[in-house]
Each structure stands twice: as structure tokens, then as C-alpha cells.
């Protein structure tokens, strides 16, 4: 533990950290430099986006009292009881998952350099435990569901690796950020900033969406109720796929600040990787905000809920998060400020909590979906809903009538007809539109982008991920990416979906042509060679194909001609609003 982690907090006027000690894990400068030099000779693990967020909040103390990634004892008790092995309240597993090959190369007692995506060493983990987990069990206990429509469950079941390394970490340097530097506080620096303002009672507000007038009214009322100041602390790490990018959101928050009473609100950014775990996540958020000094925490309806399950039912009860956190608030030492939705009452020209609306009141609201539609169509956004400065920022980011980027991702056996159907779709699109279209065909990608890769599971996953990265860049710039690899593994397809959905729509199309039909139309004779043992690891013969479980579209490549099947895809795109009516031309 660092010297700073042991420092007394008696002079800090704000709420003491969880466990009463702020666990900052960075080494003193000289020790950090020496460890950085030595880390070059250690086995290294490149952190993914979630792990990078988790490490940053471990190192700066936001995850106090944790001093590293969880061992099996902590992990198991968190799942079972929402507590660490020593009994401390903690609801969400913080784990370092690695692949089997890396785990097999190290032993308990070894040191592992934890690096960012550029290979920069950020910390060193001393391995105390190497253990396997059951992701289905974790899904049941943490999320309460195994439905892959839940983004946290999808991440857990299709991307998270099953072997974990547990142990203490020692920090070398902080992950580097280049945006909004003045707003990226550690718990200690935020405590110092708020302390300098004379704040002692702080009500924290969690958000992953742009804020509008209703949010301003809610936070002002919550502050008045708690006799506190407002800390707006939005998540700028990983949120729900499809959320507004954090650059745009932060600009909106900055514009909103001027509409608060003078010296009553502060903005600070939280690089958290959300799990969208509903009640458990709300409790986790409260712990984190306590570590940043908050005395109160606003919890609204369906806090950190991801929406509805496969049956159309919300994953979590609307007030379950409020109830769970309230049941632990005395132990935790942070007060819950529960709030219903704020709605605009037009006949009184005022925002009110929904439970204060009277019979005969004219209630108006604009949902997130409706807001996006108005932005896309250039329709008026009323002044009662949000502020002109916020509208201007959103219109700049989402200009009216701008075409939305999207990716069509065809997957299926070799010879299923993916490429032919893809070409037919491209022809239909280009008949009536000049929109840029990029085809990422499996064979062409392997010839150029993935030259040198073999056909092991790892190399196939790398090939598909490269396709996904290129597709996400095409989509980010408003283009259309059409991908047609075999992509036999669910986890690599899920990775592509995440990459693309960060910028636009992802449409997975399973071309489910029977193996016999694929072999019958095999012009290159690949199936015959595979059955003769001349081609190893051939999908469908000597290597598995993991069929999609919930594709946006399911086609049989032998059931109709490519033009007919392409027509079904065009109809889907039109129904999703991704293209215009083909009788009037494509947007």
C-alpha cells in the first residue's frame, strides 16, 4: 500500500471513503520508474477497454477498498453475498480475465505487466490466484438473467474469458487521456477541489445520457432536499452500445452548468466501464461516489437498467435499485435521494415529479427515441424540453437528414451464398443512391488486410476483428459496410457488433444454407479437399460453426434466388429507417 493510501483523512471535510481509507495504488515516483524499467522483462498483458477502465479506478482509489483484481475468495463471495471475503460490502466483480494460453504460461507468485493498447506499462500485478469461473453462474447472480439482449450478459458470455488472475497491483503511471483534462479528477483531486469550495454535503448525479431541463430540475430539487451541492459525474468509460458519444455529452453538460444557481454545481468525469447491472450496479455507483466524497446519491427509476428482455419485459423492477441501495445506506454511509421521473406540466409551465401531477394537468415529455427522430428530421425541439445551447451541440453532432452509417454482417458456411447475396444488395443500393459502400469480403480481406494469418481459432478471430474495425470506421463516417466472412465463432462476431454499434447500426444476417447444398455448389472443390484430409480446420467439416442465436435476419441461401433474398434485406433496412423508400430513392 502506498504512503498516500495510509494518510489520515481527518482534515477532509467530505464523506470518508468506503472502508475509511482511500486506497491509492500508485508507487512513489522513484519506485514507479524502477518498476517500469523492470516491467520490460516481465510477461505482459494488454488490457482491453473494460480492464483499462477498471485498472484506472483501482489505481486512483475510486474502487477503494480494493487493492487489486479479485481472487477467487473475493469473487465468489461477491457473487453470493455482495461482499468481499472480509465482509466489506461490494456488489460487482472486478476481475482480470485472460486467455488460456497466457494463463498457462504463468504461475502464482509471478509478476505480470499490465499494459495499455499501445503497450505502455501502467501497473504490475503480483499473481495470487489463477482460477476458472462459470459465466452462466455469474450472469444469474450478478445480472439476474442469461438473456443475451442484456449488454452486460452479452459481454460476459461472449467476450469475457473464463480464466482469471487475482492479486494486488502496483501503479506505475495513469492511463493517458487527451480530452477534457481539467474534468478528469481522481477521488483525491476532486475532494481537494470540492473542499476548496467549502463543500461538505454533496449530492452526486450519475448519467450516461445528455442532460436536459428535466435533469436540471431533478438535480436542483435533490440538492435542496439534501441541503447539499450538486456533483454531476457522468460516465465517460464504457456505457450502453448506441449511447451518445461522451465528447458530445460532456459539451452538453458544460453548456447546462450555466443554468444552475451560482456555485451550486460542479462537473467531473468518471472513466467507468458500466455493466448495466441494475440494482447491484446502483449500489456500486453509490460506493464509488462515496469514494469521491459524496454524501448523497440520486437514484432514479430503473437506475443502470439496460431496457427490456427477449419477452419485452424490463430486466429490473423500476424501483429495485432505490430499494437495494436504501437497505444498505446506513452501513455504506451515503444517503439515497430517490426521485421519480420529472415531467413538464404545460398548463402550469413547470417541471414536477411525476407523483405530484394532478388530475387535469397537461403532461408533456419527449423520449430519447423521439428526440433522435426530431434531430434526424430537423424538427423543432421545444424550449421547455432543453436549452438552446444543448440543442445546438446535438444538431452539430447529429445533423438533420444526414444518412446513418450501418453494417450488414453476413455469416455462414463457405458456399452458403453470402458473397453473392451481398453483391445483390450492393446493386440494389447503388441503383438509387450514391452513398459510399465498402465491401469486406472474406477472401479479399485475407488476401490484403489479413495476409499472413492462418486458420487457428485465434487467427480467425483476429481476421474477423480486423473486418469489424474497418467496418466500424466506415460506419462512423456515415458509410455502409457490407461484410461477408464465414466468421464461425460467436465471440468474435460479438466483438464486431460492439465495434460497429459504437458508431451506428449492426445487422447480422445468418445465411443458413444446408451443408449439403454448400458442398454441391462448391466451385473450388474445397469441401472435397477437406473431407479428404487435405485442408485442416475447415469450417463445417473439421472445425465447428457456431450459429448465431439472435441474428437480425435469417436466410436460407438455397431457398430463393439472390435478388429475392436481397429484397428481404432491403425491406429490413427500410423498416429500420436505415435507408429511405426505394420508390423515392435511398437517403
Cβ atoms 429, 480 nearer than 8 A? yes
DSSP-derived 3-state class of residue 113: strand
DSSP-derived 3-state class of residue 299: strand
Nearest to 353 by CA among 337, 368, 364, 339: 339
DSSP-derived 3-state class of residue 377: helix
Nearest to 203 by CA among 167, 176, 173, 228: 228
Dihedral sign computed on CA atoms, order 55, 58, 61, 67: negative
CA 24 from chain centre, in angstroms, equals 25
**Would you put residue 533 in left (φ > 0), alpha (ψ -120 to 50) or beta?**
left
Distance CA 483, CA 464 (A): 10
Distance CA 364, CA 142 (A): 36
Give the single-character DSSP code of 558.
T
Cell numbers given for 383: 424550449
CA distances from 261 to 215, 218, 236, 248, 384 (A): 14, 14, 25, 23, 18
Cβ atoms 83, 152 nearer than 8 A? no
DSSP-derived 3-state class of residue 476: helix
Distance CA 304, CA 300 (A): 9
Nearest to 288 by CA among 359, 235, 216: 235
Distance CA 234, CA 465 (A): 29
Distance CA 12, CA 263 (A): 20
Active site residues: 207-209
Burial class (CB in 10 A: 0-12, 13-18, 19+), 367: exposed
Please state, as a whole number, how many other Cβ atoms lie within 10 Å of the Cβ of residue 342.
21
Sheet holding 296-299, edge to edge: 265-267, 229-234, 202-207, 296-299, 335-338
Q: Which contiguous run of DSSP H or E holds residue 573?
A: helix 562-575
Strands (E), 105-186: 111-115, 121-126, 129-132, 163-171
Radius of gyration from C-alpha coordinates of the chain: 26
Burial class (CB in 10 A: 0-12, 13-18, 19+), 243: middle
> What backbone phi and psi angles, to 5 degrees, belong to 201?
-110, 120
Cβ atoms 136, 142 nearer than 8 A? no
Amino acid at each position: 500500500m502506498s504512503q498516500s493510501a495510509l494518510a489520515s483523512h481527518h482534515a477532509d471535510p467530505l464523506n470518508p471513503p468506503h472502508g475509511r481509507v482511500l486506497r491509492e495504488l500508485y508507487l512513489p515516483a522513484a519506485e514507479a520508474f524502477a518498476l517500469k524499467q523492470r516491467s520490460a522483462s516481465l510477461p505482459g498483458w494488454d488490457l482491453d477497454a473494460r480492464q483499462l477502465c477498471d485498472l484506472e479506478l483501482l489505481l486512483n482509489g475510486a474502487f477503494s477498498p480494493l487493492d487489486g483484481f479479485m481472487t477467487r475468495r473475493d469473487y465468489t463471495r461477491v457473487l453470493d453475498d455482495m461482499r468481499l471475503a472480509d465482509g466489506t460490502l461490494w456488489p460487482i466483480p472486478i476481475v482480470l480475465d485472460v486467455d488460456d494460453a497466457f494463463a498457462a504460461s504463468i504461475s502464482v507468485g509471478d509478476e505480470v505487466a499490465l499494459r495499455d493498447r499501445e503497450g505502455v506499462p501502467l501497473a504490475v500485478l503480483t499473481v495470487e490466484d489463477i482460477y476458472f469461473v462459470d459465466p452462466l453462474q455469474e450472469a444469474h447472480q450478478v445480472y439476474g438473467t442469461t438473456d443475451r439482449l442484456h449488454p452486460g450478459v452479452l459481454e460476459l458470455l461472449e467476450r469475457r474469458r473464463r480464466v482469471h488472475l487475482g492479486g494486488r497491483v502496483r501503479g506505475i503511471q495513469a492511463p493517458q487521456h487527451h480530452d477534457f483534462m481539467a474534468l478528469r479528477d481522481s477521488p483525491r483531486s476532486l475532494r481537494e477541489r470540492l473542499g476548496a469550495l467549502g463543500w461538505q454535503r454533496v449530492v452526486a448525479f450519475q448519467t450516461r445520457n445528455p442532460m436536459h431541463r428535466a435533469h436540471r430540475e431533478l438535480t436542483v430539487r435533490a440538492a435542496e432536499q439534501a441541503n447539499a451541492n450538486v456533483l454531476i459525474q457522468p460516465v465517460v468509460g464504457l456505457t450502453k452500445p448506441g449511447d451518445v458519444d461522451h465528447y458530445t455529452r460532456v459539451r452538453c453538460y458544460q453548456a447546462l452548468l450555466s443554468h444552475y444557481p451560482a456555485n451550486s454545481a460542479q462537473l467531473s468525469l468518471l472513466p467507468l466501464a458500466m455493466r448495466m447491472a441494475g440494482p447491484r450496479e446502483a449500489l456500486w455507483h453509490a460506493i464509488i461516489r462515496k469514494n469521491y466524497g459524496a454524501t448523497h446519491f440520486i437514484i432514479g427509476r430503473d437506475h443502470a437498467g439496460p431496457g427490456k428482455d427477449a419477452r419485452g419485459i424490463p430486466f429490473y423492477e423500476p424501483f429495485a435499485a432505490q430499494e437495494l441501495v436504501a437497505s444498505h445506506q446506513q452501513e455504506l454511509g451515503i444517503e439515497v435521494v430517490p426521485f421519480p421521473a420529472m415531467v413538464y406540466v404545460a398548463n402550469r409551465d413547470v417541471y414536477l415529479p411525476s407523483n405530484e401531477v394532478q388530475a387535469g394537468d397537461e403532461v408533456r415529455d419527449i423520449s430519447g427515441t423521439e428526440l433522435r427522430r426530431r434531430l434526424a428530421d430537423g424538427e423543432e425541439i421545444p424550449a421547455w424540453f432543453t436549452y438552446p445551447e444543448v440543442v445546438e451541440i446535438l444538431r452539430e453532432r447529429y445533423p438533420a437528414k444526414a444518412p446513418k452509417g450501418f453494417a450488414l454482417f453476413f455469416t455462414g458456411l463457405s458456399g452458403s451464398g453470402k458473397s453473392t447475396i451481398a453483391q445483390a444488395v450492393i446493386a440494389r443500393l447503388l441503383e438509387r443512391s450514391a452513398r459510399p459502400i465498402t465491401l469486406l469480403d472474406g477472401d479479399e480481406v485475407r488476401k490484403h488486410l489479413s495476409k499472413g494469418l492462418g486458420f487457428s481459432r485465434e487467427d480467425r478471430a483476429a481476421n474477423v476483428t480486423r473486418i469489424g474495425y474497418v467496418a466500424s470506421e466506415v460506419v462512423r463516417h456515415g458509410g455502409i459496410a457490407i461484410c461477408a466472412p464465414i466468421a464461425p465463432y460467436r465471440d468474435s462476431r460479438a466483438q464486431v457488433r460492439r465495434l460497429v454499434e459504437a458508431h451506428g447500426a449492426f445487422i447480422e444476417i445468418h445465411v443458413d444454407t444446408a451443408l449439403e447444398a454448400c458442398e454441391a455448389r462448391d466451385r473450388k472443390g474445397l469441401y472435397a479437399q477437406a473431407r479428404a484430409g487435405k485442408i485442416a480446420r475447415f469450417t463445417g467439416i473439421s472445425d465447428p460453426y457456431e450459429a448465431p442465436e439472435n441474428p437480425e435476419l435469417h436466410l436460407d441461401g438455397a431457398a430463393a434466388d439472390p435478388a429475392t433474398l436481397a429484397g428481404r434485406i432491403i425491406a429490413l433496412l427500410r423498416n429500420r429507417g436505415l435507408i429511405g423508400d426505394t420508390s423515392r430513392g435511398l437517403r
